[in-house]
Structure 1
Amino acid sequence: MGKSAGTVRFAVVGDIHVHKESGGTLRAFFGAASEAADALLLCGDLTDYGTAEEAQVLVDELSAVSVPIVAVLGNHDFESGTPEVVVDALARAGVRVLDGEAVEIEGVGIAGVKGFAGGFGRGSLGAWGEPAIKLFVQECLNEAMKLESALAKLRTPRRICMLHYSPIVGTVQGEPVEIFPFLGSSRLEEPLLRYPVDAIFHGHAHRGTLEGKTIGGVPVYNVAKPLLTRSWPERPPFRLFELPRD
């Protein structure tokens, strides 16, 4: 499906997990996404260990893309303790990495943040007891506040939210129930109820479910590349999402 004058199209994918041997393996994939869409959105876990070498491989592979690229980081991008090297490499290549910020592309506002874990609904971890537990919960609250700040900056009629961790339990269904608390948090859903968007995208849950909805009925899409690859073996593993041009 080619580009349209009446719609804005986004190719969305997460969990690419680029490693040092990935050179030359993703350019065709990224090229196909670029040809199909007006922008490419990357929902975290862009690298496997968050190293400078992996970040450079990723940048080289993204050279096939001729449309704007917007990204958020994932937990794998923090593994080496230097997520800034991934951000810097991407920024030098013209990729906008969001961490509580907002950007506008083709009249569509995009808010993005990594998010964090903590569980869903009545299973959410509470900030009670040991200091380590309180710090864990505070990290998720901080990410939710960054997301709210980004959403509050949006002034466009059409809006999209990008995350790595899921804001709802629906799109992590299919993963072992024991690890649900590590795949996202309902606290990330709360600002999305106050600042509605047209669609929410996340990754992280490789064995999750493709689609779900917030309490407010906003569609949530799990775009983890391993999940898309298994679900759509006959097509390139990115989700193509479109909105009408206002």
Structure 2
Amino acid sequence: MENNSQQNETNTSNKVRIAAVADVHVRETDKGKWTDYFKEVSRKADVLLICGDLTDTGDEMEAQILCDELKACTIPVICVLGNHDFEKGRHKLIRKILQSDNVHILDGECIVIKGIGFAGVKGFGGGFDNHMLSMFGEGAMKAFVQEAVDEALHLERALARLEQENEGIKKIAVLHYSPVSETVRGEPEVIYPFLGSSRLAEPLERKKVIAAFHGHAHAGKMEGKTANGVKVYNVAKHILLKEGYTQPYFILEV
């Protein structure tokens, strides 16, 4: 894994190059801003993951701008939605606008591209490790925890489907919220419960995922792992730029 400025444009190995970014926060004023970016990613990678917060304010016009910009991308694109995409309650419309033969928006679904299985969910908050919120107390608190439980179950089922239909396949998880505390370090600890949940790590370990990608924590850390060693990458655009990437995308060869 190298800084993307050093990646060869021609893939001479049998490995699949997975580019990943999160939190692109496309705005209505971004017309033309992303075209060169998507052209470059298409030269350097075989698949592109966009891990949520595709739009800035959850507006369908922002989604349309991103849709137009993505026409410059000549490799398959896999996305999940983020919390910003839900802001105006138009997330279903955003998904409809972006979904195409080349752009796949996953929400508890899975897809196989170039022999790699991808499962995607938005995920949710709830806290990490011994500080996870429990299903106890007021109805509103129980509903908050239930959302995290449901997202973890959706991820588990998508990964299980990949296993059932493709024995021995390598699996990648695409998330928006983090499954581990390690990749949110740098954010204020008081907001950890709103940045992710360890419940998302459980299916990653049970289904032996080789790597998980997420965003959301703009001030977090780029690399971490679950307790059993599953690699986790926070590919928020802000972190990649801070790490010195000439263009905000991370590449993992699988």
> Where do 1:1-246 residues align within 5 Å?
1-2=8-9, 3-92=11-100, 94-154=102-162, 155=166, 156-233=168-245, 235-243=246-254
- In the alignment, structure 2 segments of 5+ residues that lack a partner are 1-7
| 1:46-77 deviation per Cα after TM superposition (whole angstroms, max 9, x unaligned) | 00111110000001111110011111000000
How far, CA to CA, are the matches of 2:180 and 2:100 in structure 1? 33
**What secondary structure sits across from 2:28 in the alignment?**
coil
**What secondary structure sits across from 1:7 in the alignment?**
coil
How far, CA to CA, are the matches of 1:219 and 1:97 in structure 2? 23
Contact preservation (8 Å) 1:72, 1:162: yes
**What secondary structure sits across from 2:38 in the alignment?**
helix
Q: CA deviation at 1:26?
A: 1.2
How far, CA to CA, are the matches of 1:134 and 1:62 in structure 2? 39
Contact preservation (8 Å) 2:22, 2:236: yes
How far, CA to CA, are the matches of 1:141 and 1:227 in structure 2? 28
How far, CA to CA, are the matches of 1:92 and 1:80 in structure 2? 22
Q: CA deviation at 1:11?
A: 0.9
The number of residue pairs the alignment matches comes to: 242
Which amino acid in the other structure matches residue 161 of structure 1? A
Which amino acid in the other structure matches residue 68 of structure 1? P
Q: CA deviation at 1:124?
A: 0.8
Deviates more, 1:35-44 or 1:24-33: 24-33
Give the TM-score taking structure 2 as reference length: 0.93
**What secondary structure sits across from 1:151 in the alignment?**
helix
Which amino acid in the other structure matches residue 119 of structure 1? G
Which amino acid in the other structure matches residue 249 of structure 2? F
Paired residue for 2:3?
none
Give the TM-score taking structure 1 as reference length: 0.96
- In the alignment, structure 1 segments of 5+ residues that lack a partner are none
Deviates more, 1:202-211 or 1:3-12: 3-12
